[in-house]
């Protein structure tokens, strides 16, 4: 049985301590294998163990909602992030009321600076401050009470205790003062601190919405309805009712409702939101289209190939959501600190009060300094430092075609010092052409490798027909090249029977009662194929950089060669410059290829790679072992290795590498195929076949980790400096409240600077 994942929104969290508390509450549920709560997304990702995975999802959701509510927080629908906010000022009403009521209380402070005495009567101060304290501040009392019941602490508890102390002290001084006496009260402390905290939370919420722009933009790509061709003509239906094999009509300017294959029409498709590719992509009959992309100037008919959660867009959204919900390894330090932070602050606040009181100061002064400690120590910035940067980094990366699957890959990628590339389809176009096909009996040893049998001889055409028949059911790039060459020659071929793929070698099957094999020279050598003039000719082709396959036949006398096929591929545009850029960053480059050494070395020269950076004739099953060998040099030096691949045969190597980067190449594989497997094995997916995105992925990793470290430094430094200053009496509670609110906003703002990144 497979694991069951549940997502649930959690409302009311305010700091890192809240995250710890929610995680503890959910972890106590029976069958929970792991739980990760994200403060920035206000969500929890829960994994149930196999023994509980059989239970109905609705039952699990009910248990989760109860656990969250019992912990003192509000369970929300997991889709709450998709909801578009009403506007930039949503939620500002409590802040506005707080500012309106608190402003008169601050006037005396301004008057003192101007030499004026604008002190309000005590009753007026009481009437202005009390609604702020107990109406606008009710959220802090509610959340703080739940924290106390759970024997934990959070930001709300610190705010509630600090402001309550200031308000209660003011009431006591007012009621105990002699009749007619003008005493200094601290109602402005409680009212202004609550207002500033509310203002900080509102600004923080606005920044959070900006960090989730990427998710909302991706969800917005899905059109609500699709135009389906039925027996009664065209009919609009909700996309939830689409089925595979439905035929859709897509008009110019409309979005494709699902993944599919073009049946009719020509157009240009804008895939920029999915791939980051700025230019429209030409599409014709049999081309793959991706749901969410925009049709250009042609009316087209599309056959649906995937719907719902099986589409490429759904997979992209899932990867981005997973990355933004995950915790980076560095977050563990924050969790450990937050678990003891609030109790330590409460002890420090009490120690501050006692220290000032025992040194001869009044209880009034002592309490105010204790309140300042409570207010300035709120751990909001600490809880937001990591998730805010991760959300901003993964969001802007997705916008430019770099999908980061998990936070661990994001944190490790900037440490990469070795980048290994698969060759075909990653560094090269991956669509090789058949350059020549020579019949073995026509080779007498005098031909040179440049004497390709073009124009085609009758024997070569006959062999091409056999080869195309054998390869007609294969998805291998070389098989496509054979079939395409046969179509160009106008040859008619029939489907093979008893076809069997031999991974890493080739394929075999029966064509016209003949048992045929088509594969590499290495495979032929293992079959003890008799060598002859064709062998030296094939080796000469390899030396010139061609990929060589042999068409052979099983006979009662053994396996005999029929023809030699030579294939050629081209480097991807910009690949050489991209590799040079990576080398300039000080990275070690490696190319891994299943091709023969001659073909691999010839391509390496065209790519600007050095001979010692090429590993040729590597079987798919051996790629993972080679990646592991790159991670550990014989001299004991450890390396952080990234592997870049694009197919199902690269999945083991992608998983073995410290960071796997799967190149999706949507333009050539819109239906996924092996790409889906590669994307699941890789920590990072490059949504277009541009080698330059590798440097971009490493760069956004470095920038995001730098933001995390900056945020954590300032969050820790803020508390490390602020608490002693407050305890020593250098900060009054109002200034402490403003600084506390500013710390959270500054962390969010610093993280949002990542949105300006471009690869």
Q: Exposed, middle or buried by CB within 10 Å (0-12, 13-18, 19+), for 404?
A: buried
**Given pLDDT bands bounded at 50, 70 and 90, which one contains residue 512?**
confident
pLDDT digits (tens, 9 = 90+) for 382-418: 777 888 888 888 889 988 888 887 778 888 999 999 9
Contact between residue 73 and residue 43 where contact means Cβ atoms under 8 Å apart: no
The pair of structure tokens assigned to 751 is 């993280």
Supply the CATH classification number for the domain 4-82. Answer: 3.30.70.100
Task: Output Rg (C-alpha) for the chain, integer angstroms.
Answer: 34
Residue range(s) of every CATH 3.30.70.100 domain in the chain: 4-82
pLDDT of residue 257: 92
CA dist., res. 407 & res. 393, Å (int):
10
CA angle 157, 140, 110 (to 5 degrees): 100
CA dist., res. 680 & res. 678, Å (int):
5
Mean pLDDT over the full length of the chain: 83
pLDDT digits (tens, 9 = 90+) for 242-260: 999 999 999 999 999 999 9
CA dist., res. 713 & res. 722, Å (int):
14
pLDDT of residue 160: 87
CA dist., res. 492 & res. 511, Å (int):
13
**pLDDT greater than 50 at residue 670:** no
**CATH classification of 433-568, choosing from 3.40.1180.10, 3.40.1110.10, 3.40.47.10, 2.40.30.20?**
3.40.1110.10
pLDDT of residue 53: 52
**Given pLDDT bands bounded at 50, 70 and 90, which one contains residue 714?**
confident
Residue range(s) of every CATH 3.40.1110.10 domain in the chain: 433-568
Please enumerate in sequence order all residues whose Cβ is within 8 A of that of 188, keeping only pairs 6 or more positions apart, or say none: 102, 105, 106, 108, 109, 125, 129, 734
Per DSSP, the three-state class of 703 is helix
pLDDT of residue 455: 60
CA angle 516, 521, 527 (to 5 degrees): 60
Q: Exposed, middle or buried by CB within 10 Å (0-12, 13-18, 19+), for 231?
A: exposed
Strand 684-686 to strand 659-663: parallel, antiparallel, or no bridges (unpaired)? parallel
Spell out a b/e string for 239-259, using b for 16 or more CB atoms within 10 Å of the CB, else e.
beebeeebbbbbeeebbbbbb
Contact between residue 370 and residue 348 where contact means Cβ atoms under 8 Å apart: no
CA dist., res. 424 & res. 523, Å (int):
19
224-256+259-306 maps to CATH 3.50.50.60? no
406-428+571-697 maps to CATH 3.40.50.1000? yes
Contact between residue 736 and residue 376 where contact means Cβ atoms under 8 Å apart: yes
Q: So which residues are the catalytic ones?
A: 422
Least confident of 329-343, 611-625, 744-758: 329-343
Contact between residue 476 and residue 502 where contact means Cβ atoms under 8 Å apart: no
CA dist., res. 493 & res. 514, Å (int):
14
Per DSSP, the three-state class of 6 is strand
User: Bigger pLDDT: 190 or 677?
Assistant: 190
pLDDT digits (tens, 9 = 90+) for 111-142: 655 666 667 888 999 999 999 999 999 988 98
**Given pLDDT bands bounded at 50, 70 and 90, which one contains residue 739?**
confident
Find which of 39-43, 273-277, 432-436 is predicted with most confidence, using mean pLDDT: 432-436
Helix, strand and coil in the chain, % to nearest 5: 50, 20, 30
Please enumerate in sequence order all residues whose Cβ is within 8 A of that of 531, keeping only pairs 6 or more positions apart, or say none: none
pLDDT of residue 677: 55
**Given pLDDT bands bounded at 50, 70 and 90, which one contains residue 735?**
confident
pLDDT of residue 467: 92
pLDDT of residue 50: 64
Residue range(s) of every CATH 3.40.50.1000 domain in the chain: 406-428+571-697
Q: How far is CA 645 from CA 54, 401, 653, 655, 681, in A?
A: 35, 16, 8, 11, 10
Contact between residue 486 and residue 459 where contact means Cβ atoms under 8 Å apart: no
pLDDT digits (tens, 9 = 90+) for 515-571: 999 998 888 888 888 877 788 888 888 777 788 899 999 988 888 889 999 888 889
The pair of structure tokens assigned to 556 is 């009662």
pLDDT of residue 452: 45
Q: Name the residue with tokens 């691999």.
A: 600
CA dist., res. 191 & res. 197, Å (int):
10
Strand 684-686 to strand 402-404: parallel, antiparallel, or no bridges (unpaired)? antiparallel
Contact between residue 217 and residue 316 where contact means Cβ atoms under 8 Å apart: no
Nearest CA to 665 out of 647, 642, 692 is that of 647
Contact between residue 1 and residue 49 where contact means Cβ atoms under 8 Å apart: no
Contact between residue 330 and residue 411 where contact means Cβ atoms under 8 Å apart: yes
Q: What is the DSSP string of 437-495?
A: EEEGGG--S---TT----SPPHHHHHHHHHHHHHHTT--SHHHHHHHHHHHHTT-----
CA dist., res. 700 & res. 331, Å (int):
18
CA dist., res. 537 & res. 453, Å (int):
12
pLDDT of residue 433: 85
């Amino acid at each position: 049985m497979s694991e069951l994942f549940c997502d649930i929104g959690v409302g009311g969290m305010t700091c890192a301590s809240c995250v710890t508390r929610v995680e503890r509450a959910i972890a106590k549920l029976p069958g929970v294998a792991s739980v990760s709560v994200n403060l920035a997304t206000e969500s929890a990702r829960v994994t149930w163990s196999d023994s509980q995975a059989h239970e109905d999802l609705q039952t699990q959701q009910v248990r989760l909602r109860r656990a969250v509510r019992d912990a003192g927080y509000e369970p929300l629908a997991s889709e709450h992030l998709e909801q578009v906010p009403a506007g930039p000022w949503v939620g500002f009403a409590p802040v506005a009321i707080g500012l309106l009521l608190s402003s008169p209380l601050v006037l005396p402070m301004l008057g003192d600076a101007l030499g004026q005495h604008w002190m309000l009567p005590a009753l007026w101060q009481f009437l202005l401050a009390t609604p702020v304290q107990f109406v606008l501040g009710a959220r802090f009392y509610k959340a703080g009470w739940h924290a106390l019941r759970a024997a934990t602490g959070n930001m709300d508890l610190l705010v509630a205790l600090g402001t309550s102390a200031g308000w209660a002290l003011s009431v006591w001084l007012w009621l105990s003062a002699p009749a007619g006496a003008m005493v200094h009260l601290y109602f402005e402390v409680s009212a202004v601190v609550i207002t500033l905290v509310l203002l900080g939370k509102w600004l923080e919420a606005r920044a959070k919405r900006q960090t989730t722009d990427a998710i909302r933009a991706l969800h917005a790509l899905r059109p609500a309805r699709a135009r389906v061709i039925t027996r009664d003509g065209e009919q609009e239906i909700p996309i939830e009712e689409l089925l595979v094999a439905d035929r859709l009509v897509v008009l110019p300017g409309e979005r494709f409702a699902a993944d599919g294959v073009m049946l009719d029409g020509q157009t240009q498709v804008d895939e920029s939101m999915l791939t980051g590719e700025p230019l429209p992509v030409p599409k014709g009959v049999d081309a793959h289209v991706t749901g969410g992309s925009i049709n250009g100037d042609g009316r087209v008919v599309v056959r649906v190939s995937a719907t719902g959660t099986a589409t490429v867009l759904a997979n992209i959204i899932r990867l981005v959501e997973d990355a933004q919900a995950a915790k980076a390894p560095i977050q563990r330090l924050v969790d450990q600190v937050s678990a003891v932070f609030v109790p330590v602050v409460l002890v420090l606040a009490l120690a501050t009060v006692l220290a000032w009181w025992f040194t001869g100061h009044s209880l009034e002064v002592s309490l105010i300094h204790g309140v300042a400690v409570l207010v300035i120590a709120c751990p909001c910035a600490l809880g937001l430092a990591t998730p805010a940067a991760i959300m901003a980094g993964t969001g802007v990366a997705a916008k430019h075609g770099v999908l980061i699957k998990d936070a661990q890959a994001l944190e490790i990628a900037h440490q990469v010092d070795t980048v290994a590339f698969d060759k075909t389809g990653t560094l090269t176009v991956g669509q090789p052409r058949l350059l020549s096909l020579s019949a073995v009996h026509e080779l007498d040893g005098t031909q040179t490798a440049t004497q390709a049998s073009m124009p085609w001889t009758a024997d070569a055409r006959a062999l091409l027909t056999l080869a195309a028949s054998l390869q007609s059911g294969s998805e291998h790039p070389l098989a496509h090249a054979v079939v395409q060459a046969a179509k160009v020659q106008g040859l008619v071929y029939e489907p093979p029977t008893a076809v069997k793929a031999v991974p890493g070698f080739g394929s075999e099957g029966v064509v016209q009662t003949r048992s045929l094999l088509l594969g590499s020279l290495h495979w032929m050598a293992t079959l003890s194929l008799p060598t002859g003039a064709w062998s030296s000719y094939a080796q000469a082709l390899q030396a010139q950089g061609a990929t060589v396959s042999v068409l052979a036949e099983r006979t009662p006398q053994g396996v005999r060669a029929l023809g030699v096929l030579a294939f050629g591929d081209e480097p991807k545009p910009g690949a050489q410059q991209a590799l040079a850029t990576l080398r300039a960053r000080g990275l070690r480059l490696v190319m891994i290829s299943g091709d023969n050494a001659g073909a691999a070395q010839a391509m390496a020269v065209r790519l600007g790679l050095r001979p010692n950076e090429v590993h040729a004739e590597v079987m798919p099953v051996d790629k993972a072992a080679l990646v592991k060998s790159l991670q550990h040099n014989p001299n004991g030096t450890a390396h952080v290795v990234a592997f870049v691949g694009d197919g199902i045969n690269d999945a083991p190597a992608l998983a073995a590498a410290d960071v796997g980067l799967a190149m999706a190449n949507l333009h050539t594989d819109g239906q996924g195929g092996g790409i889906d497997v590669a994307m699941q094995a890789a920590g990072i997916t490059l949504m277009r076949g541009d080698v330059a995105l590798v440097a971009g992925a490493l760069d956004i990793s470095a920038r995001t980790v730098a933001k995390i470290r900056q945020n954590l430094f300032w969050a820790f430094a803020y508390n490390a400096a602020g608490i002693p200053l407050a305890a020593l009496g250098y900060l009054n509670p109002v200034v402490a409240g403003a600084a506390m609110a500013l710390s959270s906003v500054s962390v969010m703002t610093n993280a949002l600077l990542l949105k300006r990144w471009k690869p």
